[in-house]
Structure 1
Amino acid sequence: MAKSDKKDKKLKKLRKKINSMPQKLNGSGKGNVTPHFFRKLSLFHDLSEKQISHIQAMESRHVAMPAGTDIISAGEKYTDVYVLNEGWAVRYRILPDGSRQIANFILPGDFMCLNACIFTEADFNITTITPVRVSQFPTCEVVQLTEKHPLMCAAMFWSNAREESIIIEHLASVGRRTAYSRVSHLILELWRRLEMIGQVEKHGNGSSGSFHLPLTQQLIADCLGLSSIHVNRTLRALEEDGFVICERKDGVRLLRIADIEGLTEASAFDDEFLRATPIPTHTSRLLEEVERRRSQFSE
């Protein structure tokens, strides 16, 4: 059996285990982290049940927030690391003239404020776009993972590092791409990220798919350095070209990509920046040895 096939089987087994875990979506008790987070983390490192349980036990609070809630503001002191369990949020900066530049959109399973482990105060804002559910972890508990579970901690930072790749891709869009390519790239990025956590509904043979898109044209504009009018025109052009369909179902705004391959080719989209690359073998082995020795010493 090929090495890649073995890894795929291990990932499927782990995801099945994670998906079968009970989800406590209310209250302030522990164990509320949803499978989206563990599914993403498992792409970088195979998690054991002990490691999953340890993360669940670290949770200090589980909070439901309405749309438009500020999770953290620029200049505010860090106290916790967050995981977004449900809903969408946005990370951005407000410029002196009052304009807004969005760095990235935060989806279920994503970290928020992991850099609280390094810095003391935020240099950005995070606000909820939709109603959300958030797990909070004391920063000191996350930092202690470097000693208790170094490999799992590395996987968390490895996963979070992908955020930098997304921001660099957005910078390339704002600096060099046409409006058509900017909007196309963002649509395909969101589709790919949502697909990773099972929030894309595939149609037919998988050549098309739809997903919930709670973004206003102004949010898209502030991410891509465009005006909302320009975004509106570009979305209409994408519809006229047969690539996307904007619709509503039961009051929910949906975006359907009618031709994924065609849109990918037309916009020269490359999802390399979103691909989950496992922790390098030599690093993984070194951290496993550190964790093994620590376990022996504690016994």
Structure 2
Amino acid sequence: MVLSEDELSILKNLGKAGRRIPAGRDLVYQGQSDKVAYILNSGWAFSYKLLQDGQRQILDFEVPGDFLGLRSILLNMSDHGIEAVTDIEVTELHIDELLEIFSQSPRLMLAVLWAASRDDAMIVEHLIDVGRRSATERMAHYLMELGLRLELVGMADRSGFACPLTQYLLADAVGLSAVHVNRVLRELRENGLLTFRDGCVRFDDYVELSRFAQFDETYLDHSGPRFRQSFLAGLGNLREAG
């Protein structure tokens, strides 16, 4: 399935409602009740949950092309926060705008369902990371997942990707201490699998790294490559509009 010119035009027109958020600032606060979703046009962000004692758990990192805050459209308030890792630009979508888009194009509604379905599939893999993969396998799998998500929007390839994340942020995401993250990354580098240095993740041996992490990329591709590429190309118009 490939999006029509009219559907791509609808996506392009969304870019007129852009917002810019500087690095370190929250786009969404946990408990916020605006019933707004976003499309991330540029930059990196992360979604997180705060516990009552102030501890933070990063739920996922968000990259260009991702939908943010979909659950808050239907819930009375957002059950998590979203913070900018770098300066970001987003397209803001209120519930009435989403309903109008869906009435114009049911296939764009399918695109949003695809995004939500992919997010659910990633949550399943992250649970497996914590419950069954070793710390080194967990890190390898997580970075390969990020690489493939970025590859889908033309920001990575099988050699690696630019990565603004600190070891502290990675530690919060994968359930390790920052010291343990450092040891795990050193082990992956010394084994000739992956190098994370100077803001760049380099896949030194993609095939062996994939085997080691038991990485099956099919969970990130639910709707087939033609639909996926067409939809993400449409989202690319949002970045150009910004």
Given the two structures, how large is their TM-score scaled by the length of structure 1? 0.71
Q: Of 144, 154, 169, which aligns to 2:110?
A: 154
Task: Please say if residues 59 and 137 of structure 1, whose CA atoms lie closer than 8 Å, have aligned partners that are also in contact.
Answer: no
> Which deviates more from structure 2 when the two are superposed, residues 49-58 or residues 265-274?
49-58
Task: State the SS of the aligned residue for 1:161.
Answer: helix
Q: Deviations over 1:198-250 (max 9, x none)?
A: 111x5xxxxx51211111111111111111110000000000001112333xx
Task: Please say if residues 117 and 142 of structure 1, whose CA atoms lie closer than 8 Å, have aligned partners that are also in contact.
Answer: no
Match of 1:256 in 2: 202
Q: Deviations over 1:29-77 (max 9, x none)?
A: xxxxxxxxxxxxxxxx411111121233345621222111101111111
Match of 2:239 in 1: none
- What is the total number of aligned residue pairs between the two structures? 225
Q: Does 1:240 align with 2:186?
A: no
Match of 2:140 in 1: 184
Give the alignment's Cα RMSD to 1 decimal: 1.8
Task: State the SS of the aligned residue for 1:71.
Answer: strand
Match of 1:171 in 2: 127
Structure 1 residue identity aligned to 2:102: T
Task: Please say if residues 60 and 138 of structure 1, whose CA atoms lie closer than 8 Å, have aligned partners that are also in contact.
Answer: no
Shift of 1:276: 3.2
Match of 2:235 in 1: none
The percent of aligned pairs where both chains have the same amino acid is 36
**Distance between the aligned counterparts of 2:148 and 2:13, measured in 1?**
30
Shift of 1:78: 2.4
Task: State the SS of the aligned residue for 2:27.
Answer: strand
Shift of 1:194: 0.9
Q: Which runs of 5+ in 2 are unaligned?
A: 225-242
> Which deviates more from structure 2 when the two are superposed, residues 208-217 or residues 55-64?
55-64
**Distance between the aligned counterparts of 1:242 and 1:63, measured in 2?**
41
Q: Of 105, 110, 115, which aligns to 2:71?
A: 115
Mapping of residues 57-206 of structure 1, within 5 Å: 57-59=13-15, 61-200=17-156, 202=157
Structure 1 stretches of 4+ moved >6 Å: none
Structure 2 residue identity aligned to 1:236: R
Larger Rg: 1
**Distance between the aligned counterparts of 2:212 and 2:221, measured in 1?**
21
Task: Please say if residues 35 and 74 of structure 2, whose CA atoms lie closer than 8 Å, have aligned partners that are also in contact.
Answer: no
Q: Does 1:224 align with 2:174?
A: yes
Task: Please say if residues 10 and 101 of structure 2, whose CA atoms lie closer than 8 Å, have aligned partners that are also in contact.
Answer: no
Shift of 1:79: 3.8
Task: Please say if residues 40 and 91 of structure 2, whose CA atoms lie closer than 8 Å, have aligned partners that are also in contact.
Answer: yes
**Distance between the aligned counterparts of 1:269 and 1:59, measured in 2?**
34
**Distance between the aligned counterparts of 2:197 and 2:128, measured in 1?**
29
Q: Deviations over 1:132-174 (max 9, x none)?
A: 1111122211023333221221222222220111111111111
Match of 1:36 in 2: none
**Distance between the aligned counterparts of 1:116 and 1:92, measured in 2?**
14
